[in-house]
Chain A
Amino acid sequence: MKLIKKQIPLAIVLVFGVLTLVSYYVPHKLSVDYIETMNKWENIVAAFAFLLGLVSLFFSHYYKIKRKADGWGYSLFVYVGFLAMVIPAFIWHGKQTSELGMTSLGWAFRYIYNALSASMFAVLAFYIVSTAYRSFRIKSAQAFVLFVAAFILILGKVPLGQIIWDSVLGWTGQGVDQVIEWIMGVPAVAGKRGIMIGIAIGAIVTSFKIIFGIEKQYMGKD
């Protein structure tokens, strides 16, 4: 049992992990063919993952409705939303327009999905503004630096801010766009570059740990 559940999966990960890593650096026809085959397999696996996710989603909401769990009514909308998009998509073969004009899929996309998705994201703006007023307190030197940088960036991002800057600080001879370029090009890039290098090293180490069987959490507890 250990052989099937542990040793064989670990061997598969080791072999395919090393092969894929090597193929990335070897510009030979064999490695290109290997990568192409792997890409096709990956796409097929991804399609099955979609299906698995869908079935899992449906079952979890089905049980929520069956148990009449808190907020079970919302679970009904999972099915309503799904059917509202999928049925028209099947009928019109994924086309949003036809010779007759907008199809029911086009209508559902534009007036249901588009509107709901945009509204959900737009609501964030209201919370951000409210939180900025209530929580952005300059209580330390670091907070002050953050405030100054944010102030200049927000101001310089819109024409009205540029007009305000020019009329108040125009005498300095520095345009707000030049100050923004410096902030973005020096301190922001320095910070971002440090984060990126850290993430990359972490990802490399984790990948090696998985390939060589040191990290096995992805295999589950059994």
Chain B
Amino acid sequence: MLKEKLEKFFKIDRRCIFLVLAVVLFAPIMKPLGLPNKTIARDTRNAYEFMDKLPAGSFVLFSLDYDPSTRPELHPQAIAMIRHAFKKNLRVGVVTFIAGSTGLIEQIFQTVPGEYNKVNGADYVIFPYMANPVAVMTQMASDLYGIYDKDQDGKDAKTLPVMQGIKNYKNMSLIICITGTAMLDYWVAYVGDKFTVPVAGGVTAISQPGYGPYLQTGQLKGLIGGMKGAAEYESLIQAPGKGTSGIDSLNLGHVLVLLLILTANIILLIIKYL
């Protein structure tokens, strides 16, 4: 009798689970829990410290390669790192190899530079979308103007004040790739290793474990993983944003998954030994 009752739990309508998850994700957005983020991951701290130690005026190249599907995790990372770069008075260059990313880049640069009185062309430059990442990365090693002769607005890139003294990777202090694709692997393999340029990254939580080998060997100077990584970086630069506010939903979502797996397996055990 009890066995039959318990078996019914496995046949529960999946829409009920969908509803519970929707409530669990939505409720903290409406009423934040405000749980403290007690730890900062070592790799996030390393990325922060590497950028923090760069002298003012250094050129940092951002490769922002994500589209709206991974926006909740990666957009806050990009915003936090760009804020940090502006705060440290670093020069910022932006490239992308994902067409869907162009609109998101534009959204970032509509608001963030204004917070630090940064001017397009003088303090930062946005290059247009390019389709063939490996070819572009290789070309930029000798002369980046061979590919990016103009910026996104059609201005001559070479004459922009922000590009003074920048010709190739030798003139860059750091490359940061924030991506939901394998683009960070390309930056490490085709640029970081070959031209000895420091590379750091930001990736989705699901792909974070795959970058362990690069972190151990120092091929990656630091790595931000998922929304938690974004929240950690935001707390390091003391500028809470979407990463911090989204962490509550993530909290409850993760705990729900664990509870469901545990419940299902406890029921299974009871059925087996009943």
Contacts and interface: CB of A to CB of B under 8 A. Distances in A.
A196 B213 contact: yes
A189 B110 contact: no
Given A43-B135, A133-B260, A177 B41 contact: yes
Contacts of A40: 139, 146
B254 A162 contact: no
B184 to A, nearest CB: 13
B246 to A, nearest CB: 11
Nearest to B72: A118
B27 interface: no
Interface string B47-83: 0000000000000000000011111100000000000
A188 B212 contact: yes
Interface stretch (B30-38, B115-123, B156-164): B30-38
A159 B37 contact: yes
Nearest to B139: A39
A184 interface: yes
Contact of B69 (A38, A109, A117, A129): A117
Q: Is the interface of B mostly helix, strand, loop or mixed?
A: helix
A132 B209 CA distance: 20
Interface in B237-264: 247, 250-258, 260-261, 263-264
Given A96-B103, A96-B106, A188-B209, A42 B135 contact: yes
Nearest to A166: B38
A193 B264 contact: no
B10 interface: yes
Given A121-B70, A157-B205, A133 B261 contact: yes
Nearest to B69: A121
B170 interface: no
A202 B113 CA distance: 45
B264 A117 contact: no
B91 interface: no
Interface in B15-44: 17-18, 21-22, 25, 33, 35-39, 41-42
Interface string A117-157: 11011000110111011101110000000010001001101
Contact of A159 (B68, B72, B135, B247): B247
B17 A43 contact: no
B245 to A, nearest CB: 13
Task: Bin chain B's interface residue count.
Answer: 35 or more
Contact of A126 (B18, B38, B268): B18
A18 to B, nearest CB: 17
Interface string B98-130: 001011001100100000000000000000001
A173 interface: no
A105 to B, nearest CB: 8
A137 B263 CA distance: 11
A67 to B, nearest CB: 31
Contacts of B205: 157
Contacts of A160: 33, 35, 251-252, 254-255
Contacts of B22: 126
B255 A113 contact: no
A129 B251 contact: no
B261 A147 contact: yes
A74 B218 CA distance: 48
Given A138-B265, A159-B35, 16 more contacts: A36-B139, A39-B139, A97-B106, A120-B69, A134-B10, A137-B268, A147-B261, A154-B258, A155-B254, A157-B205, A158-B247, A161-B251, A177-B41, A181-B42, A188-B209, A189-B213
Interface of A: 32, 35-36, 38-40, 42-43, 46-47, 50, 94, 96-97, 106, 109-110, 113-115, 117-118, 120-121, 125-126, 128-130, 132-134, 136-138, 147, 151, 154-155, 157-164, 175, 177, 181, 184-185, 188-189, 192-193, 196
